Amino acid sequence: MTTAAIVVASGRSLRFGGDVPKLVVPWRGRPLVAWTLRALEACPEVDDVVLVASGEVASAAAGSAAAKLVGVVPGGDTRQASVAAGLAALPARADLVLVHDGARPFVSPGLVARVVRAAREAGAAVPVLPVVDTLKRVAADESPARDTILETVPREALARAQTPQGFRRGVLEAAAAFAAETGLGATDDMAMVEALRAAGRLPAGTRLVTVPGEASNVKVTTPADLPAVVIETRVGLGHDVHPLERGRRFVLGGVDLQPGAADEERFGPAGHSDGDALAHALCDALLSAAGKDDIGATFPDTDPAHRGRASLDFVREVAGGLRADGWSVLNVSGVVRLERPRVLPFVPALREALGRALGCGPDRIGLSAKRGEGLGPVGEGRAVEADVVALIGRET
Ligand code: MG
Between the CA of 348 and the centroid of ligand 1 the distance, in Å, is 22
pLDDT for residue 175 = 96
Residue 96: phi and psi, rounded to 5, are -125, 140
Give the orientation angle of helix 79-88 with respect to helix 169-182, to 10 degrees. Answer: 130
pLDDT for residue 221 = 86
Between the CA of 131 and the centroid of ligand 1 the distance, in Å, is 65
Between the CA of 361 and the centroid of ligand 1 the distance, in Å, is 25
Between the CA of 140 and the centroid of ligand 1 the distance, in Å, is 75
What is the tens place of the pLDDT at every residue in 219-268? 998 878 888 878 899 999 999 999 999 999 999 999 999 998 988 889 99
233, β-bridge pairs: 393
247 within 8 A of 269, measured Cβ to Cβ: no
33 within 8 A of 60, measured Cβ to Cβ: yes
Between the CA of 368 and the centroid of ligand 1 the distance, in Å, is 19
Between the CA of 280 and the centroid of ligand 1 the distance, in Å, is 5
Between the CA of 25 and the centroid of ligand 1 the distance, in Å, is 45
Between the CA of 66 and the centroid of ligand 1 the distance, in Å, is 47
Identify the H or E element spanning 193. helix 189-198
Between the CA of 323 and the centroid of ligand 1 the distance, in Å, is 23
Between the CA of 273 and the centroid of ligand 1 the distance, in Å, is 8
Residue 45: phi and psi, rounded to 5, are -75, -20
Between the CA of 244 and the centroid of ligand 1 the distance, in Å, is 12
Between the CA of 355 and the centroid of ligand 1 the distance, in Å, is 20
pLDDT for residue 17 = 57
170 within 8 A of 202, measured Cβ to Cβ: no
The structure's pTM equals 0.67
394, β-bridge pairs: 232
Between the CA of 24 and the centroid of ligand 1 the distance, in Å, is 47
Between the CA of 243 and the centroid of ligand 1 the distance, in Å, is 10
pLDDT for residue 224 = 83
* Residues with Cβ–ion distance below 5 A, ligand 1: 240, 280
pLDDT for residue 146 = 66
Q: Which of 394, 288, 395, 391 is nearest to 330 (CA)?
A: 391
Between the CA of 268 and the centroid of ligand 1 the distance, in Å, is 13
Count of CA atoms in the C-beta half-sphere (13 A) of 249: 15
Between the CA of 321 and the centroid of ligand 1 the distance, in Å, is 20
The three-state (H, E, C) secondary structure of 43-95, written as one string:
CCCCCEEEEECCHHHHHHHHCCCCCCEEEEECCCCCHHHHHHHHHHCCCCCEE
Between the CA of 233 and the centroid of ligand 1 the distance, in Å, is 26
Instruction: Give the Å distances, CA to CA, from 354 to 290, 314, 345, 360.
Output: 18, 11, 16, 8
Identify the H or E element spanning 388. strand 383-395
Between the CA of 255 and the centroid of ligand 1 the distance, in Å, is 15
50 within 8 A of 70, measured Cβ to Cβ: yes
Between the CA of 114 and the centroid of ligand 1 the distance, in Å, is 60
Between the CA of 260 and the centroid of ligand 1 the distance, in Å, is 24
Between the CA of 246 and the centroid of ligand 1 the distance, in Å, is 18
Between the CA of 205 and the centroid of ligand 1 the distance, in Å, is 79
Between the CA of 270 and the centroid of ligand 1 the distance, in Å, is 9
Between the CA of 383 and the centroid of ligand 1 the distance, in Å, is 12
Between the CA of 262 and the centroid of ligand 1 the distance, in Å, is 24
How open is the CA angle 39-221-127, to the nearest 5 degrees?
A: 50
- pLDDT < 70 positions in the chain: 12-19, 141-146
3-state secondary structure of 214: coil
pLDDT for residue 18 = 60
Residue 41: phi and psi, rounded to 5, are -55, -35
